[in-house]
């Protein structure tokens, strides 16, 4: 389309100008005559002042109506009509809303969105696979840790052994105490010193094993605490 400047002289001798957007000068003159059909005038000149000018909205509407009519005359199911499906609605929206959108652009935008969604899906799948692998690894580690847990049977056996050791240490302490009394009349003798050292060691060892016995009893009372402590130490 081009913009034409038309200069004209009225019947009373005054002059004026107006501009019309048209494909050709002849069309611009026809549009001028249609616009000024109620006046008496003489066109004195017509010149193109802008080439490649955008068409007006009204011109676009008329052109779209003509194209739509041509396609409709081809009948339902025509090849051209099928290719133009949805295009007329986009053209109307472009005209009314000053858009520059095409069916191709919409298709490309949807295709781009689909690719983005596909990438997000792939990322989610990869993340799920990584999480599953990590879960399986943790399960293997947990199973390995569980192999090293002390069972209730083990705890009972250890408790029995320690109880026996405590009982023996009590006897050793009693024996050492008796020896201290026996050799108390000669505190510088090797027998007295050995009895004192034996008594002290028996008492110290007995205290040590009693503490262990208490901890084992706590493990037996609170098995979950036992599990968690061993899990942490794995």
DSSP 133-144: HHHHHHHHHHHH
Residues 25 and 79 in one domain: no
**Quick check: is 125 in a domain?**
no
Expressed as residue numbers, the domain containing 83 is 57-101
Mark which of 35, 50, 65 sits at the end of a domain. Answer: 50
Residues 43 and 87 in one domain: no
Give me the number of domains the chain comprises.
3
Task: Determine the length of the chain.
Answer: 234
**Quick check: is 110 in a domain?**
no
Those residues of the chain that have pLDDT short of 70 are 219-234
Geometric angle at alpha carbon 104, from 101 and 109, rounded to 5°: 80
pLDDT for res 5:
93
pLDDT for res 233:
55
Mark which of 50, 73, 89 sits at the end of a domain. Answer: 50
Residues 42 and 81 in one domain: no
Which residues, in sequence order, are CB contacts of 151 under 8 Å at separation 6+?
A: none
Residue 102: C-alpha distances to residues 47, 68, 86, 108, 109 (Å): 34, 16, 10, 10, 11
- Look up the pTM and report it: 0.39
**Quick check: is 223 in a domain?**
yes
Residues 30 and 62 in one domain: no
CA torsion sign, 180 to 186 to 189 to 193? positive
What is the CB neighbour count within 10 angstroms for residue 31? 17
């Amino acid at each position: 389309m081009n913009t034409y400047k038309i200069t004209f002289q009225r019947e009373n001798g005054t002059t004026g100008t107006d501009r019309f957007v048209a494909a050709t000068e002849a069309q611009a003159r026809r549009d001028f005559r249609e616009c000024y059909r109620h006046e008496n005038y003489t066109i004195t000149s017509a010149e193109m002042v802008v080439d490649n000018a955008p068409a007006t909205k009204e011109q676009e509407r008329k052109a779209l109506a003509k194209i739509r009519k041509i396609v409709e005359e081809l009948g339902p199911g025509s090849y051209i009509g099928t290719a133009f499906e949805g295009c007329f609605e986009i053209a109307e929206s472009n005209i009314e809303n000053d858009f520059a959108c095409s069916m191709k652009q919409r298709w490309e935008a949807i295709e781009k969105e689909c690719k983005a969604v596909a990438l997000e899906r792939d990322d989610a799948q990869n993340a799920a696979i990584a999480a599953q692998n990590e879960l399986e690894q943790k399960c293997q580690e947990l199973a390995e840790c569980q192999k090293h847990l002390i069972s209730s049977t083990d705890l009972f056996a250890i408790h029995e052994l320690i109880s026996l050791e405590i009982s023996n240490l009590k006897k050793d302490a009693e024996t050492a105490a008796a020896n201290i009394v026996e050799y108390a009349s000669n505190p510088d003798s090797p027998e007295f010193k050995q009895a004192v050292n034996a008594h002290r060691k028996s008492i110290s060892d007995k205290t040590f094993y009693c503490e262990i016995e208490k901890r084992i009893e706590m493990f037996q009372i609170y098995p979950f605490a036992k599990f968690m402590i061993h899990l942490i130490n794995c």
